[in-house]
Structure formats: structure tokens, C-alpha cells
Structure 1
Amino acid sequence: MESELEKVLDIAGHGRYNLMVLLVSSTIHLASILDLLGFCVIVPAAACDLKLGMREISLLTSIPFAGYLSALPWGYYVDTHGRRKAIIISTSVGAVFATLTTFSTSFTMMLVLKLLGCLFSTASITLSITYLGECTGTRNRTRYLLILNCFNLISDFICYALAYLILGLQFEIPLPWLAITFRPWRLLTLVMAVMLAVGGFVIFFLHESPKFLATKGRVDEALEVMKTGYGLKDRDVDLVKSLLTITKDTGNERKVPFMKSLWQQTAPIFSRPYLMKTLQLFFLLAVCTSTNNVFYIWFPTIVNSFYNAPSNATASFCDKITSNITADVHLGETCNDVIADNTIFSGMAFSLFFTIINYIASMITSWRKSVLVGTLLISGMSTVVVDLVEQPVISLLLFILIQLVGLSAGNVASYFVDVYPTSFRGLSTSLGSMFARMTVMVGINIVDSTIVQHCRATFLSWSIFVFVGMVVACFLPKETTTTRNPLFYVSKIESVGF
């Protein structure tokens, strides 16, 4: 059935509509990631207004990852109601909650609104990948998914660039009817919400995935999409209709109740012969994702404290960052919303550095296991040494290298395709991603609880976590001729989703 659907897209060819799908998908993907990760910059700037201490900052920066708890419901909705409709709901509702977050008056209000918003918006991160992949022919799919991935990589840079442009502004607009004063951090929150709303609006002008329509037996609708969207020529209509009809005939299977279907797909993942591989892959995905995301989320707070620490050439990394981090925020009469320029510039440089490294890593995808083990080794060693060196520049570089292992999260995800059959591959990947994001939430709050009083112990303990991951990675299957295909990684992007 899949081969017939591929033929349909290839017959339709490539044109302006495909470029529109790429642009819209990239916009949605970028906006959804900014809604997830942008809080790491927004929350420290909002600390004065909302009277946030370290505990509150930790909870607020970790709560967006709780949005991945909705992975299973979204997975079911996407497969039954369509990709386009799911993206519209995800982005629209997410944008509404993101806008309301702009006007938060307390820690509790912001926490609840952000959680509710991310239960919707996080779905669009992977939905945009799926939608683009299904709407693009085989000839251009690889190139388009690589372009989409560029938006993913550059999102950090855009986040810090927006922070530099907006948080440096000096204005205070009293809004007594809302019991708030509108300051730069609120404007930054609103700008990111608008970007998400734009994504939800522009997809109204696109069609549903023709692959989804065909597999659901809606042949006439799929054919209409091919005509109006893809500009299918009249001479090819009969051939395309016959191919779509084949997919309809082979796709009409006996319906199974949702709970029974969910159990049939879930049970094999945690049974023999897949149980040990499941534990291995889930753990490795958690190590790579949490080591990267936890320290990325804390990056603005830690680096800001590092730059604002008293000048002392012999001070260690922990001495510098804990000198300005305390459990509570001491509020003065005025609120300073500005994050140090050096912190923002470091964040932008950090993003560009990892974009370049990721590009280099993509050139050696045939050695994915070696790359995974190597990045885990570098990350683990950096975690051990970061507080032992006395050169500030070197210690900051080591702190950045701790997050290098995040580049191998895609490597781990690619093994899901090797290990699991198509029938429950999507669910296994979804559960693995959800487990990894929950690990991120826990990790962020662990760092909050220990970084001030036990900074060096925090880094050393995390290094054990990383080194155990390195040992586990050594038992991954050897490379095969399939995984040495340069198109291998791009095909994996499509399989990683809700």
C-alpha cells in the first residue's frame, strides 16, 4: 500500500504547493520548539515580577516538558482524525494559552497556563515532521526534511536573538485592570505566542495529507487534493485514482476497540524478545535527552551567574555560579528584567556551535554507534572536569561540552526503526520520547535541589549517569549496510513522533 501512495506523489510532481507545505511546516516546527524551550530565557527575566525563587524557576522551566504526557492521546487522534486537523488544534489552543501566560500575575497562574498550553503545542513538534514527510514525494523528501531540521537546530539562536532584542528594552506599562505592569519579558512571551498562532493560521490554507485520506478510504477527497493542491494533470487522473483505490481496498481492515488495539501494540514492546532492547533504548534516549535539555534549560541562569560573579582568577566553576545563585530572590523596589548581554551572546554562540557540530556529525552517519559512544565519553569527562579547572573560559567551554551528547539523541532514535516492526514502531518511539522528557523534568528539579549546596557532587553524580549510558551503548547492534545509507537518518526523522 505504501508503495502505491509513493507513486501517487511522484506522479503529481513537485511545485509551488510543496514549497508552501515546507514553509508552513517549518514555521510551525520552529514556533512549537520556541514555545517549549523559550521559557528558559523568559522565566529568569520574570523572577522579580512574579517573586520567583530557585524552586519556582526550576518548576516553571521544567513544566513545558510535561506536555509530552499527552503523547498517547495525540497519537490516537492523529491516526483517526488526520494530521492537518491535529496541527490546527495543537497550535491554536497552544497559542491561546501562551498568550494568556503573557498576563500571568503569579507563579501558580503561569505554571498552570504553561502546562495546559504545552499539552497541546508540543504535539506540533513531531506532527509538522510527519505532515511534511507525507505531503512530499520521495525525490524531494530528504532535502525538505533536512531543511526542516535546520529550523530545529537554529531555534536556540532565534530564541536568544529575540531575547537580546526585546529584554534589553526599557519600558513599563501599567495595566491596572489586569493587575500587572507590562515589561519586556511579557512582550517576549507574547511574540513567541504570536509565532505559534501564525503557524496555526497558515495551515488553514493547506490540505490534509493525501496519504492519510487514502489510507482511510477517502479516495475522492485524496484525488481532489491531488488536483487542487498538487496540480495533478488530467492525463494522470485515472492512473492516480486506480492507485488510490488499491490503497483503499487493502487498507480497510476490521476495526478493533481502542483499548484493545492499544494493548495489542503496547504489550509486545515490554515482552520478549523486545524487553531488553526496550530498556536499553529507553535508558539511552533518557541519558542523551536529559543531559542536553537539563543543562540547556539551566544555561541562562548558570551562565548569567557565572558572568556576574566577583572576579577571581582562582575560583572554580561551582564557586562562580553559586556565588550569585541562592534559594530565594531578594527583591528590591524596582525590577530589572535584563539578562546580561554576555549570557545572551553565549547562548547564541552555543547554538551556532552545536549547529556546526551537528552538520559535521551528519557527514559520518555510517558510524552512528561510534558517534554515540564518543559523545557520551566527551560529555561524561566534561562533567567530571568542569569544576576542577581554574580557567574561566575553559570551564565554561566544558560546561557547554556536557550538552554535546544531545546530538546523539537522533542516533538512539534511529535504533527504534531497526529493533521494532512497523506495527508498533510508532508507539514504541512515542513511549521512549515521553519517558525521556519525563526524565528531563525530574533532572531539572534535581539540579535545582542540589546545585547550590552540592554543586561539585551534582556534576560528579551526573557523570556516573552518563558513563553508565556509555557502557549500555557499547551493547547496541553493530552497523549494517542499511544504516550506512546516507539517506538513513532522514528516513528516521519521519518515524520519530507521537
Structure 2
Amino acid sequence: MESELDQVLDLVGHGGYNVVILLVSSTIHLAATLDLLSFCVTAPAASCDLQLGMAEISLLTSIPFAGYVSALPWGYYADMHGRRRAILVSASVGSILGIMTSFASSFTMMLVLKFLGCTFSTACITLTITYLGECTCSKYRTKYMFILNCFNLGSDLVCYALAYFILRMEFNVDIPWLAISYRPWRLFTLSMSLMLGAGAVMMFFLHESPKFLANKGDVDQALHVLKTAYGVKEGTEELVTNSLLFADKKLDSTKTTFWNSVVQQTVPIFQPPLLIHTVQLFFLLSVCCSTNNVFFMWFPTMVNSFFNSIASDDSSFCDRITSNITTTIENNVVCDSTISNATIFSGMAFSTFFTIVNYGTSLISNYRKSVLIITLTIAGLSTVIVDLIYQPIISILLFILIQLAGVSGGNVCSYFNDVYPTTYRGLGTSLGSMTARISSMIGVYIVGSTIVDHCRITFFAWSIFVFVGVAAAWSLPAEKKKLNPSTDPS
């Protein structure tokens, strides 16, 4: 059935509506990613108003990743009730809870609201991948996945740019009935939430994925969407209709209970013939995301320590960064809601570089397997060599190149659209993303715990993790082959 639905999109072709879908999906994807990552800036800036210590700041910074525990119910909801509806609900409620977070009067209130908000907003990150993939013909699908990942990587640039304009402001408005003072960091948090809400409004004017509609047996509605939105070309309407009807005949319309439905949606992902692809893609996505996220989270601390190092000029990378890093937590926190220009500009430059690299890879998206292998190999080699080079500029460039693995996140995600039938695709992509984020959280903790006393070993061990990912990437099918399982459960 999957091949018939792909054939329908290929017959319809590519047009202006596909560009609109890309724009809307990218906007929501960007806003959701900002909601996830922006607390790295918000939490320290809010330390004065909410009397936050280092422990509280660390918890607030990491709590957004916990929102991925909702991946299973959101994936199930998307597979049962539609991608568009799931995105609308998650983006709208996530935006509302984000707005409420900007008015939090205490650490506990902010922590709870941020966790609840991210259980909704983070769902948009994976749901937009599924929605965009299902609404795009095979010729442009991989390229669009790369472009979507550009917005993911570019979120850091947008975050720091907004911080530059907003957090440098000086205003303090007392709101007695909320027992808060409205300061720049609250406006910064509010701006992120409003962006997600704007994305939800844009999604409201789009149609459901025609592949989802056809997969659920609503052939008439799927055909209506293809005619009114995509614009079925003259002479192809009969072929499109026949393909949809043929796919509809292959559907199993047997009614099941709720729990049987959950089992039917979940178990096939972890059974042959999908099992081997599930393990492979989950692991590859974990390698790409965690390698990027872990070293991105430590990037400001390590780079700042590197350039302020008290070590000699001929010292290694590890010698330089560990000379200033300490595991001791300071009890006193300096109350300052601003952020330095050096931090902002370095963050913007870093994000710009990887956004450009990611867009460059989108131009050669037809060679996604080769791009994946090359980027992971460069990241792995950089992880090995970074502490073996005693030239400061080269070692810092190698440290940056470690995070090149993140460029292939969208690359791996494009395989999810090939591997999983429409019935399981939303859940499969959500679970894969959840696994990747959990591995990122674990990685951040491991690196933070070992970097001071076992710096070189930490980098060497991580390189093994990346090179296993290279081996897994080698076993992916060649670019010209379809990555469909031998038996289609749909």
C-alpha cells in the first residue's frame, strides 16, 4: 500500500503548496526547538528574580528534554487522529503553557510549567518531520528533510539574536497581582512562545496529510485535498483516483479495542521486518543528536576555559580546558539578567557555520548515505585527534568539527519516511527522537562527570561511539535503492 501512496504523490508532483507546507513546518519546527533550547539562556538570566542557585539553573536547563517522555502518546495520537491535528494541539497548548511560564513567580512554578509545556511543544519537532515527509513527493522529500534540519540547527542563531536585542534592554515593570517584576528575560521567554503560537495558526489553514487520509480509508477526502491543494495535473486524475482506490482495498478495516490498537501501533516497530531498521535508525539518530547536543551544551564552558587557560602554550586541548574547569559548585550566584556580547556573537557565529554546512549538504541530498558516512567519520576522527594536536587554533577547530555529526540528523530522519509504513511512521519517528534526546541527557551527565579527571579517555570513548555509528551507516541501502521492508505491515 505504501508504494501506491508514494506513487500518488509522485503523480501529483511538486508545487507552491509544497513550499507552503515546508515554510509552515519549518516555522513550527524552529519554534519548538527554540522552546527546548532557549532555557540555557533564560535560566541564568532569571536567577535574580527567582533566586536560583546553580542546582536550580541546571535543572531548569535540562528539564525541557524530559518533555520527550510524551513521545509515545503523541506518536500514537498522530497515527490515530492525524498529523495536522496532533501538531495543532501540541503547538497551541505548548504556546499557552510557554506564555504562562514567562509569568512564573517561583522556581517550582517555572519548573512545572516548563516541563508540562515541553511535553506538548517538543512533540512538534518529530510531528513536523512526519507531516512534511508525507506531504512531499519522493523527488524532493530528502532535500526538504535537510532544509527542515537547517531550521533546527539555525535555532541557536535565532535564540542568540533575540537575546542580543531583548536581554540587553533595561526595564522593570512591577505586576503586584502576580507578585512579579516583568523584566527582559520574561519578554525573551514570551517571544519564543508566541512564535510557536504563530506556527499553530499557520497550520490551521493547511490540510491533513493525504497519505494519512488514504491510509485511514478516507479516499474521497484524500482526493479532495490532492485536487484543491496540490492541483492534480490534467490527465493524471484518473491514475491518482485508481491508485487511491487500490490502496484502499488493501486496508484492514477490522475494529479493535483501544489497547489492542496501541499494541498494533507499537509492536510491529519492534518486530521483523522492521526491527533491524528500528535498532539501526534509533542508534544512528542517537549518535548524531547526542554528539551534537552534548558538546554543544559544553561548548561555552570548554571554549571559555580554553582561551582563559593558565596552561602553557604547547599544552593539549584537555590540559587547557581542565586547567580552569572545577567540579565545585559555587553557593553564591551573581544576579545579572544580561548576557555578554562575546557569548552572543560566538553563539551566532557557531550556529551560522553549521546552518550553512547543513544547507550545503541539502544540495547533495541524493547522496544521503555518503553524506552521513562522511560527516560521522569527520566527527569521529576529530574526537580522536582533538587532544593529540598541540596547536591551539587547530585543536579548537577540531572540537567544533566534532559537532558536525548533528548535520546528519535530518539525513537520518529522512530514512524514517522510507522505512516505516504510514500507519506506524508518526510513532516510529517520535520514539526515535525520544531515544536520541535521552541519550543526549545521559551523554551530558557522563561528559560532565568525567571531563576533568579523564578528559582524553572521555574523547576517545566518545569516538568509539561515533565510529560504531559509521559502521551502522555503511549497512544502509545504497542511495538508489528503496529502504522498504520486505513485508509491508500496512
Whether these two folds match at TM > 0.5 is: yes
Task: Give deviations 1:227-269, integer Å, cap 9, x for gaps.
Answer: 4323447876555444332222222343444544554665576
Query: What is the alpha-carbon distance in structure 2 between the residues aligned to residue 219 and residue 267 of structure 1?
Result: 27
Tell me what 2:479 maps to. 484
The 1-side partners of 2:309 and 2:233 are apart by: 70
Other-structure match for 1:341: 341
Is the deviation greater in 61-70 or in 425-434?
Answer: 425-434
User: After superposition, where does 1:54-133 map in structure 2 within 5 Å?
Assistant: 54-133=54-133
Q: Is the 8 A contact 1:51 1:329 kept in 2?
A: no
1:376 aligns with 2:345: no
Equivalent residue of 2:250, what SS? helix
- Paired residue for 2:22? 22
Which letter maps to 1:404? L
Q: What is the TM-score when the length of structure 1 is the normalising length?
A: 0.81
The residue aligned with 1:467 is: 463
Extract unaligned runs of 5+ from structure 2. Answer: 485-490
Letter in 2 for 1:76: Y
TM-fit CA distance, 1:312: 8.4
Name the structure 2 match of 1:291: 291
One of 318, 321, 325 as aligned partner of 2:321: 318
Q: Which amino acid is 2:169 matched to? A: L
2:186 is aligned with what amino acid? R
- Range that drifts further, 198-207 or 278-287: 278-287
Give the residue type in structure 1 aligned to 2:321.
Answer: C
Tell me by how many angstroms 1:438 deviates. Answer: 1.4
Q: Conserved in 1, the CA contact under 8 Å of 2:133 and 2:414? A: no
| SS across alignment from 2:59 | helix
CA deviation digits over 1:421-469, x for unaligned, max 9? 9886765554343222112223334556x4xxx7522634532441331
CA distance in 2 between counterparts of 1:55 and 1:4 reads: 54
Which consecutive unaligned segments of at least 5 residues does structure 1 have? 493-498
Counterpart position of 2:407: 407
C-alpha distance in 2 between matches for 1:462 and 1:484: 34
Deviations 1:277-329 (A, max 9, x none): 8667655543442232123234456656777x698876954357537x96245
Partner of 2:50: 50
Partner Cα distance (2:435, 2:342) in 1: 34
Listed as ranges, the matches of 1:33-432 within 5 Å are 33-232=33-232, 240-260=240-260, 262-263=262-263, 282-283=282-283, 285-300=285-300, 317-318=320-321, 322=325, 327-328=329-330, 330-331=332-333, 335-359=335-359, 363=364, 365-367=368-370, 368-382=372-386, 384=387, 391=392, 396-409=396-409, 430-432=430-432
Deviates more, 1:179-188 or 1:355-364: 355-364
Q: CA deviation at 1:381?
A: 3.5
Encode CA deviations 1:321-352: one digit per residue, 9 max, x unaligned.
537x96245356xx421111111111111112
- Amino acid of the structure 2 residue aligned with 1:459: C
- Residue 30 of structure 1: how far off its partner (Å): 1.1
User: Counterparts of 1:408 and 1:212 in 2: how far apart (Å)?
Assistant: 26
DSSP-derived class of the 1:322 partner: coil
**Deviation string for 1:164-185 (max 9, x for gaps)?**
1111112212222211111111
Give 3-state SS (helix, strand or coil) of 2:336's partner: coil
* Aligned-residue offset at 1:78: 0.6
Write the letter of the residue equivalent to 1:322.
I
Aligned counterpart, 1:433 = 433
Aligned equivalents of 1:226 and 1:306: distance in 2? Answer: 56
Distance 1:180 1:355 in 2: 38
d(CA) in 1 for partners of 2:81 and 2:14?
26
C-alpha distance 165-153 of structure 1, shift in aligned 2 (>3 A): same
The alignment's TM-score, normalised by the length of structure 2, stands at: 0.82
Alpha carbons of structure 1 residues 261 and 239: separation in structure 2 relative to 1, 3 Å: same
| CA distance in 1: counterparts of 2:279 and 2:94, whole angstroms | 32
- C-alpha distance in 2, partners of 1:69/1:484? 33
Contact 2:71 2:430 in 1 (8 A): yes
Q: Specify the SS of the correspondent of 1:174.
A: strand
Contact 2:161 2:344 in 1 (8 A): yes
Aligned-pair distance for 1:194?
0.4
Cα 1:36–1:207 shift into 2, 3 Å: same
CA contact (8 A) 1:369 1:411 kept: no
Give 1:380 shift.
4.1
Q: Secondary structure at the match of 2:181?
A: strand
- Bigger shift: 187-196 or 222-231? 222-231
Stretch deviating more after TM superposition (152-161 or 270-279)? 270-279
Deviations 1:401-427 (A, max 9, x none): 443333344566677789889886765
Aligned residue pairs total: 476
Give a deviation string over 1:119-161, Cα, whole Å, max 9, x none. 1111111212222222233454444444333322322211111
C-alpha distance in structure 2 between counterparts of 1:108 and 1:338, whole Å = 22
CA–CA distance in structure 2, aligned partners of residues 477 and 377 of structure 1: 16
Q: Deviations over 1:50-94 (max 9, x none)?
A: 222222222111111111111111111111111111110010000
SS of corresponding position for 1:456: coil
Give the equivalent residue in structure 2 for 1:495: none
Say which is worse superposed, 249-258 or 204-213, in terms of deviation: 249-258
Q: Deviations over 1:338-385 (max 9, x none)?
A: 111111111111112222333555646453335423312312443x46
13-22 vs 275-284, which moves further: 275-284
Residue in structure 1 matched with residue 488 of structure 2 by the alignment? none
Distance in 1 of aligned mates of 2:14 and 2:410? 28
SS in 2 for 1:252: coil
Matches of 1:418 and 1:8 in 2, distance apart? 15
Secondary structure at the aligned position of 1:181 is classed as: strand
